[in-house]
Structure 1
Amino acid sequence: MRVDLFDFELPHERIALRPARPRDAARMLVVQGNGPFSDRHVSDLPDLIEPGDVLVFNDTRVIPAQLEGRRGEAKIGATLHKRIDLRRWQAFVRNAKRLRVGDVAEFGGGVTAIAEERLADGSFVLFFEGEEPVEVLLERAGTMPLPPYIAGKRPTDAQDREDYQTMFAREDGAVAAPTAALHFTDRLIAAIAERGIGTETLTLHVGAGTFLPVKADDTDDHQMHSEWGRIEQDAADRLNAVRERGNRVIAVGTTSLRLLESATGEDGIIRPFAGDTDIFITPGYTFRAIDGLMTNFHLPKSTLFMLVSALMGRERMQEAYAHAIAGEYRFYSYGDSSLLLP
C-alpha cells in the first residue's frame, strides 16, 4: 500500500511533553466498531470492558540508553537499539561519519565502547569495555532515551526517569517505553481486578526502531527492525483459555499486540515464544490473538498508525484521529489513550 495513505496533519501543540497527572487521568477515545466515538478517561477503563476479559501488558523496563560522548575531538551520540550479548549492543550513532570501525568512543564516567562493526542500515555494533555489567555503565553515563519529538523540544531531566517507566517494568532491555501502559496506576489495577478483569504480562524489549519513519513510498519496501520478546507457557495457556470461554484478549500497547500475534499460529493458538520478531502489520492482516487494543495516538505515516488501521480500518482511524485532533487530545508517548474494539 502507498505510505501516503496513512498521512495526516497534526498541529505541533497537540504533542504532549509531559504525562497527565495522575497517570490514569489521561483522556481516552473509545472507538468501538462503526459506532459513535466516545470521549472518556483512562480511569473509566474497568467500565468499558467485561468481566472475564484479560488485559495483556509488556513488563519490559527502559534502560538509560542515550549516550553522549566523543571520538577524539568529535562529538557523537549513541542510542542503543538492541542487545546482541552481555557486552555488545547495536546502536544508532549521531555524527556517524566521524566514527569508524575500530575507534573507541568515550561517554564519560569511565564508560568506553569500541565500534566493532558498521551494519548495512548504518548502525554500529558497540562493544562496552570493562568488567562492570553494561547496565551499571548505562546508569552512570546514560540518560532516558526520550522520543525525538519530545527530546527536540526540551531536555531530558530527572522526572523522566520516573515518568518514562511503566508500573509493570521488570525486565531490563527496552530503549523505548511501551507507552500505552504508562497510564496505569495501583488504583486503576485494583479497580480492574474488582471488576473481574484479568491481567497477564509478556516481555518485548522495544527498540529505537519504533521511532524511525517509514522512508519507502510503499509498505512492501519497508524493512522492520527486529525486537526480542518472550511469552511463557503458562501465560499462553491462560490466554488461550480466555478465548476458549468466549472472553476477549485486549493488548495494552502495540508492543504486546505484535508479540502476541508473532506467537500465534493460523489455528489461533497462542504458543510460548522466545526470540526476535519483526512482524509488520498493515491493512489486510488477519488478527489471530487479540480482540482489542489500548494504545496512544501515533505518528503520521508510521508503522503503528498502519497497525491500528489494520485493526479498525484506515478510513475509520483517519476519522478517529481527526476527532481527537479537533477535541484537543494529547498525542504520542506522553499523550492520551485510545481503546480500539473492532
Structure 2
Amino acid sequence: MIRGLETKPYEERLKELGMLSLEKRRLRGDMITLFKCLKGCHTEGQDHVLIIPECRTWNDGLKLQEARFQLNIRKNFLTVRAVRQWNRLPRDVVGSPTLEAFKRQLDSHLSGAALLLQTLLNFDLLVPATSAGLHKEKGSNLEGIPQWRVTLQKEFDSSLRHSRQLLCKTKSLTRHYLSDRLPGVQLTFVQQSRLFSSVSLDLRTWLSLPDVKRLTYMTEMLTFYRGLVQQLSDHEAIKEDSKFVSKFQDLSFSLRDLSRHVSYQISLWGLPSESQPKPTAKPLQILQHQSRWRNRQEVYLTLRSLESFLCRITRDFLLLRIKMAKETSLSMAPRSPLLHF
C-alpha cells in the first residue's frame, strides 16, 4: 500500500495513481488479444473468431459473430466473453492500423468514458435540464439574463437536433451507396489518412478547447465538406447514372444550413474580429482516378470521413448546450445578500 492512500476509497486511489480499474484492465487484455487474432499475430483461437460480413449487417466489416454453445463453461472462453465488448468499441478504435495505435486508442476510450461521465456530472445536468424550460414560466427570474444568452441556448438546441438528423442521414446514404455501388466489398482496415486528416481528438484535448475555437473549426470544416459533397454530386451527374444526385444535393443543402447556424452563433456571441473564421482554402480535389471502381471507393471514404466529423460536432453542440444551460441557471440563481460589519 502506498503511503497516504490507505484511507482513501478504491476509486480515488485509482484516480491518484492514474490507473484503470481491475475490470477495465482485464477487458483491455481481452481486446488486445482479439485484435492480435484479427491481425494474424495470434494463431491460437484465430479460427474461432468469426467476422460478420459487412453486406449482411450494414456494419463496418469489423464486427464479430457471437458463437452459440450448449455448455455454460464455454461462456468463459475468450472468443465468447469478449465478442460483445469488442462490438461496442468505436470504429476509430477497432480500425487502428497497428497494435500500438490500437493500444493508445483503447486506453483513451477506456479512460475517457469515466472522465466524460465525471465532466458531465460536474456540469450539473439536472440543473440545466430543469432550468432550460424556465424561460416559458411566468414569474421566473429572467430579468437579469441577457436576451442573447437565451437565444444562443435555443440555437445550440436547434443545431444539436440538426446535426443528429444530418448524421443519421449521412449514415443511411453511406450504407445505401456501399450496397449499390460496391456490392459485396469488405473495406476492412481501410486507411483514410491519405485523403483526409483525422477529426478525432483525445477527450482531455477536446474538453479543453475554447468555445471560440470550437465554433470556428465547425465553420471551416462545414464549408470544406460541403465542397467535397458538391464534387460527389457533380461526379454522380457526369460519370454515373445520377441515382444519388438528389441525395448528395440534399446533403449539401443541409451542411449549408448548419454552417449558417454556426455563423449566426459566432456573431451572436460577439466574437472579436481576430477570432472570426478565416476564408476556407480551396477544397480538396477528389475523384480524379481513371478507374470507376477507385472513384467509387473514394466516394465511400468521403462519406465515412463526413460521418466522423458529424459525430464530433454533435458532441460539440451537446457540450456547448450544457455549458450555456449551466451559465444560464447560475445567473438565474438568487444571490445571497452581502454581509456588512
Normalised TM-score (structure 1):
0.19
Normalised TM-score (structure 2):
0.19
